[in-house]
Amino acid sequence: MGEGDTPRGLRRFVAPVLGAVLAVVLMEVVVRDVYTVRTTWDPEIGVLYDPGTPVRWRREGNGTSHWDARGVRANAHAVTASAGTIVVRGDSFTEALMVDDGEAFPSLVQDALQAAAYDVAVLNIGRSTDSAADHVAHASRTRRVFAPRWVVVQLREEDFTAEAWDDTSARFVSGSDGSLTVASAPLTPSVVREAFGPLERRSMLVAYGLLRVAEMEQASRDQPPLFRAADGPPPPPPKDERVYPITQELDAILKAYEGRVTLVWLTDREPNGAERAFDAFCARTGASCVSARRVFDALREQGHSPYGFANTVPESGHINKHGHRAVSDALAAELLRLRTNGLL
């Protein structure tokens, strides 16, 4: 072996290793520009966004959000809140990672109330996957932690159907007498979180990779089998034929917050049975309700879709900045009406 062989052999080994390291570093930078989500575990309510790191979300829309240790999203403007707080609960449509802090409807509502000389803080505690059952199950924590003057609960059809009856989280249970109660599932970190938690917090490449693997696994389960053309098309997935007691679920939300609640319904493009049940419930009970039907239809007449983003399909996915603005206008008007009437 000549004297030059060892350095040459070392270079052949080091060069690809350095190349791989550089590629990983570059991929980490690229991924963080699209997806920066660090989470922490709260034993009372589960996963929360890390209050020390802004959440960057470009998978749908292009939003940056900031969160505190209680799971409250930052608004565009800080206020003294001399008149107290209004808490907004909801699912990913309220959480709204797809838009910036100042574009989410709770922040816009706070701005509108401030402009009307009502110094109240509007706290966004929306959480992805929360259902009507979660809103009832977490009512005591909401009152204990935030002591709100009023509560707003954003709802969609999915919040009352399978999501509200899934035994992996808080769920509704029907009694033999037809009564409705809520049962809470034990909160435990997932196996993936236990195994990859520390690494997932440090590397968005790992975190995003785990997310994509989970999405691909779900997609593969939803796809029909390959190479079975002779068998004809696969049968359609079974439809959920269960009749859900939406009226009772709505009533449970009202009772959980002692009636001091405004229900906000995000409508689909076409009316459905759940929306009609919501409208009938609001008319019968006189509850404080806001339906997005009128403001969303008005947006469409103006040539704007309330759903979808430049990097997604129009009328699909979550509400965009136009949808948030429309919801905030309708909700602020209702809250100011309540205040004028001495209810808020």
Higher model confidence: residue 339 or residue 200?
339
The pTM (predicted TM-score) of the whole model is: 0.86
Given this model, what pLDDT does residue 36 score? 87
pLDDT(1) > 50: no
> Are the C-beta atoms of 263 and 288 separated by less than 8 Å?
yes
Higher model confidence: residue 225 or residue 27?
27
> Among 5-9, 84-88, 320-324, which stretch is predicted with the lowest mean pLDDT?
5-9
At 45, is the pLDDT very low, low, confident or very high (cuts 50, 70, 90)? confident
| Percent of the chain that is helix, strand, coil (3-state, to 5) | 45, 15, 40
Average pLDDT, the chain: 87
Handedness of CA 253, 118, 85, 55 (dihedral sign): positive
pLDDT tens column, 100-142 = 999 999 999 999 999 999 999 999 999 998 999 999 999 999 9
DSSP state of 53: S
Q: How far is CA 198 from CA 2, 14, 32, 205, in A?
A: 46, 28, 17, 13
What's the N-to-C CA distance of the chain in angstroms?
A: 88
At 5, is the pLDDT very low, low, confident or very high (cuts 50, 70, 90)? low
Residue type for 179, please? S
pLDDT tens column, 257-307 = 999 999 999 999 999 999 999 999 999 999 999 999 999 999 999 999 999
Residues with Cβ within 8 Å of residue 191, at least 6 apart in sequence: none
Given this model, what pLDDT does residue 56 score? 94
Residue with tokens 């209004």: 86
At 254, is the pLDDT very low, low, confident or very high (cuts 50, 70, 90)? very high
Which domains does the chain possess?
36-193+242-340 (3.40.50.1110)
Residue with tokens 């704007």: 304
Interatomic CA distance for residues 111 and 182, integer angstroms: 35
pLDDT(234) > 70: no
Given this model, what pLDDT does residue 79 score? 95
Strands in 55-57's sheet, in edge-to-edge order, are 35-36, 55-57, 63-65
How much is the average pLDDT of 80-91?
97
> What angle, rounded to 10 degrees, do the helices at 204-222 and 191-202 form?
140
pLDDT tens column, 156-198 = 999 999 889 987 788 999 988 888 999 987 777 665 556 666 7
DSSP state of 36: E
> Are the C-beta atoms of 191 and 271 separated by less than 8 Å?
no
How much is the average pLDDT of 12-34?
72
Q: Give the helix ranges, DSSP H, for the chain.
A: 5-34, 92-95, 105-115, 132-137, 139-146, 191-202, 204-222, 246-256, 273-285, 293-301, 321-340
From the list 312, 252, 326, 332, the residue with the least C-alpha distance to 103 is 326
Higher model confidence: residue 311 or residue 220?
311
How much is the average pLDDT of 4-26?
69
How much is the average pLDDT of 75-99?
97
